[in-house]
Structure 1
Amino acid sequence: MPWRPLSVRARILTAVLVTTALGMLGAGGVSYLIAREQTLDNIRNSLLQENEEINTVATLAGRGETGRTITGPGDVLWLAIKSSVPDPDEAIIGLVNGQVEWVPSSEEPSQKSLENDPELIAAAAAVRPGAPVQLQRLSTAGHPDIAFMSVPVQVKGSPDLGHYVAAVDVRLAFQPIIRTHLTYAGVALVALVAIGIVGYQVAGKLLSPLRSLRSTAQRITETDLSDRIPVDELAGDEVGDLGRTMNSMLDRLSASFDNQRRLLDDAGHELKTPITIVRGHLELVDPNDPADVIETRDLAIEELDRMRRLVDEILMLAKARRPDFVQPEPVVVADLLAGVLDKVIALGDRRWLIESTSNEVVQLDPQRITQALIQLVANALKFTEPGSVVALGGRIYGPEVRLWVRDEGIGIHAEDRSRIFERFGRGSDPIGTQPPGTDDGAGLGLAIVDAIAQAHHGRVALSSEVGVGSAFTLCLPRTGRSIDHDEPVAGSDPPPGSTRPAAAADATTPDDATTRETVTWPPS
């Protein structure tokens, strides 16, 4: 069975516990070493103090200031031990000729155990007069670690040799430190358990959106993208933000898949119609009738051309989602509109206008914007009569450049104004006067215009009144970067009877010195 790595929850908890344990261990170890050194310093100072005490007594005895007749080293040792108060872990022993002669009247266990340790007595008695007084460490059968100091004592005229011995059982001196740090270890262990319990709960709470994300991802299939992470499980932290981001991503994926499925269904339906028409005519064509063959050939070519246009438009919409779909560059608004007008004046017998323009330079993809404006013009030609007005315009409004195409056509019903921007969406004839031959489009033109506007981080606004006309406005950022579009487009709801968008109607009150007068085409 392959090894499975620990879960994220377990790894987080392990990292927290290991880091905390190492921190506690390091703090405890440093504290123990400091306390140990302080204890050894106390032992050293205590033994050195005993050396000073025996030296003081010896000096007083030499001056005869002790009040006792000194006949030998035992008298000096008696005076020193009588005035000595050993520490709890310390033992004071007076040796005469290697035998215990005097000890303090102490009930401390360390005093009793050390004065009865023969190895300690032998080591202390082995120190000879004239040798430097120094601290020594000794390990005996009864005491693994003894620190002692032995000071030889002699009295002139006496053959005896005394030793003033101060000894400390180091192991007993360390016991308070060991107890303290054992207590610390117990508290640290309890703290680790508490941290583990709290950390387990907190990690589980923090990671619950990830578990919901996993279970949601497991439930999602290519045909069902409706599941979402419950919003009430998402906190206000980074993990919660991730959950909300994933929900948004799923919303976008669901919308994208729905659009793709709808596109495939609609494209299949649109492509099926010309195929059916061509197949039906080819099946019924009389090969012996040249006129029928020519008529069928012309019809097949016409339908194939319609299929090619449909495929080109579908590919255009697919490319619109690519980051390199638009290539912004500096463009003069006036030059852009003039170029579009030059291209469209031959498309129909209309009264062509450039009703507002500007010499401002903006960042746009001129090819794509030209394509969008020409598409809007072509759309206007379908629903206008010869001789009616088709106007182009452009103005700078704050951070936006607004480019529009206005017509005096049949207008658009309110319920159709959002549907016509959808793929294969078509509006109805609002007043029953739609010119003949205007229903041969696939319904992708305005969808392409909207895609071009969105690729520029902009949008398309529509102003229309049934029986009066419509105005389509491209609202695009001047700098090519996304801007806030909360501001409504002026003129989205024009007054009754008006066919001009507000962008055009406001041309008489320019906000920059480069606004031009209305230009009429063809010239009168």
Structure 2
Amino acid sequence: MADPGGTETVARRYALSVRVRILAAVLVTTTLGMLGAGSASYIIARQHAYDSVHSDLVQESEEINTVVRMIDSGQAGRPVKGPGDVLYLAIKSSVPDPGGAIIGLVDGRIAWVPDSDEPTQKSAQDDAELIAAAAAIQPGSPVEVRELRTTGHPRLAFISIPVQVDGSAHLGHFVAAVDVAEVLQPVARSHLTYALACLVALLAIGVVGYQVAGRLLSPLRSLQATAQRISETDLTDRIPDDQLAGRDEVADLGRTMNAMLDRLSSSFDHQRRLLDDAGHELRTPITIVRGHLELLDPDDPADVKETRAVSLDELDRMQRLVDDLMTLAKSQRPDFVRPEPVEVDQLLSSVRGLVGPLADRQWQIEASTAAVVALDRQRITQALVQLVANAVRFTAPRAVIALGGSVGPDGRELRLWVRDTGTGITAEDRERIFERFGRGHRSGHGSPEETVRLPEHDGAGLGLAIVAAIAEAHHGRIELDSTPGLGSTFTLCLPLDRPSTTTRSEDRARHRHR
């Protein structure tokens, strides 16, 4: 039994839109970056401030050393009888740094302090725990910075230097202290300001990112709405062009989807036409066979023989029709053509040999080239033979039918043609003959003995459609030049540099035959 909780979890996970997830990812990443940069900056600034406290205390300790040297050199300016005199000389001109205090102790009691309004100086003088800790330092102890937590100061750093004078029984201490918490307050305030600035920046990024993400994803929303509107019978909807004005991946996706819908629409239209045309064309021979069978007199041998002949003839026509329809259906597949190097002059010679026995015509190869091009030999041969068969149907015996081939003057196109001197094609027929089951007006040329052996002798109307499909499969086109009463020239125009990414539907739009 399925777990409803699991289903609910999946539904909740996918309830978040792509827009929200993108924005969340950006905000989380930005927040982590700001947090990391701010933390590193705070740690460095805090350590720098703490190092400054230590250096300042060490520097203060140098005051007492300077006084000692003055006393030893006789420059003190007053007699020195005890440690109080030494501390006086050291403290009288001292000014505590902000957050600092200087105290002179004699026998554990305050003897001298500088004249200062610094709050830390006053609070340090009243801090009995600091005084006791400083007075406890004995002569000979190493001079070092010590830390102390007292009731009035959560964190104090101090240095206490014992002072002794020969002949005096008193013990003095030169004390310099710094309230570390007060020194670190500017660092904390600056990084609090940084944190507030980061919050404002994140809010701005969120607002701007939400708008930008919505704009970037608008083609996806249009794609979703378009996909919802599309049905089997309506493939006309597309993503609006104003949603595809950008040059980013999302706009490219929208353009690609529109192109895919164009191909799907073309494919569906192709299938519908194929089914409609096939149903229409196959219905005629089926009706003929059925009618003859219904009227057949089984006791009349002649009637049986005639019905058998008609039925076989109609079945043959249906077989040819099905084969042609299969060829047209395969033309939509990417492997319909399999190019290989082909020598054009040998191709024309082989086609000339194939079509020679078809009818009594004056066969010619009026132009050729020794160029080697990439073509599907079998498909191109099929197209040329179909064009020749079409020319035979519309020419009289001994008429000229010429084949030719050449490379265009720009060297980018191969042109293969079949020219006849037949009846020509009227202007109203030039578009229709390339459509499936499209037929031109039948001429009176060509005897029944000749036409009975030719492909599509019954004029089903698929031959030129197959030729056009073969040309399009080679990313080319077919051109027609015809003058009624003088003949026609059908030309296959095949590019020598075949594009690898052009779609078949794009080829049809760009190379629509005239």
> Quick check: TM above 0.5?
yes
Which moved further from structure 2: 87-96 or 319-328? 319-328
Change (3 A) 1:118 1:186: same
Amino acid at match of 1:3: R
Aligned with residue 225 of structure 2, among 187, 205, 215: 215
Q: Which residue of 1 aligns with 2:145?
A: 135
Note the 1:231-310 alignment, pairs <5 A.
231-238=241-248, 239-310=250-321
Residues 210-249 of structure 1: CA distance to partner in whole angstroms, max 9, x if unpaired? 1101111111111100111111122222222222222222
Partner residue of 2:390? 379
- Out of 435, 444, 457, the position equivalent to 2:475 is 457
Question: 2:344 matched to 1:330?
Answer: no
Among 16, 23, 34, the residue aligned to 1:13: 23
1:422 matched to which residue of 2?
435
Alignment deviations for residues 167-215 of structure 1 (CA, whole Å, 9 cap, x no partner): 0110000000100000010011101100110010011111101110111
1:180 counterpart = 2:180: no
- Decide whether the 8 Å contact of 1:364 with 1:480 is kept in 2: no
CA distance in 2, matches of 1:92, 1:361: 101
Tell me, yes or no, if the aligned pair for 1:402 and 1:475 is still in contact at 8 Å.
Answer: yes
Aligned partner of 1:508 in structure 2 is none
Match of 1:226 among 221, 228, 236: 236
Matched ranges for 1:43-54 at <5 A:
43-54=53-64
Letter in 2 for 1:294: K
The structural deviation recorded for 1:356 is 1.5
Task: Measure the CA separation in 2 of the matches of 1:126 and 1:280.
Answer: 131
- Tell me how far apart the structure 1 counterparts of residues 247 and 501 of structure 2 sit (CA, whole Å): 27
> 8 Å contact 2:219–2:243 — kept in the other structure?
yes
Q: Which residue of 1 aligns with 2:454?
A: none
How far is 1:435 from its partner? 6.1
Q: Secondary structure at the match of 2:358?
A: coil
State yes or no: 1:400 paired with 2:409: no
Which residue of 321, 324, 327 corresponds with 1:316?
A: 327
In the alignment, which residue of structure 2 is the partner of 1:191? 201
Equivalent pair of 2:397/2:446 in contact (CA under 8 Å): no
Q: Quick one: distance in 1 between partners of 2:39 and 2:225? A: 46
Q: Percent identity?
A: 65
Structure 1 unmatched ranges of 5 or more:
494-524
Letter in 2 for 1:14: A
C-alpha separation between the residues in 2 aligned to 1:479 and 1:145? 82
SS at match of 1:141: coil
Q: How many residues align?
A: 487
Match of residue 57 from structure 1: 67
Residue of structure 2 equivalent to 1:440: 458
Please list, as runs of the form range in 1=range in 2, the aligned pairs for 1:84-233 lying within 5 A after superposition. 84-233=94-243
1:38 aligns with 2:73: no
Cα offsets for 1:420-475 (capped at 9, x unmatched): 1122222245xx75768787222111111111112222211111111211111111
Q: TM-score, normalised by structure 2?
A: 0.90
Q: Which residue of 2 aligns with 1:409?
A: 422
Gap regions ≥5 residues in structure 2: 1-7, 452-456
Whether contact under 8 Å (2:396, 2:445) holds in the other structure is no
Conserved 8 A contact 1:234-1:240: yes
Partner Cα separation in structure 1 for residue 436 and residue 307 of structure 2? 30
For 2:147, the aligned partner's letter is R
What's the CA shift for 1:160? 0.9
Q: 1:479 to 1:88 in 2, by over 3 A?
A: closer
Shift in Å, 1:479:
5.8
User: Taking structure 1 as the reference length, what is the TM-score of the superposition?
Assistant: 0.89
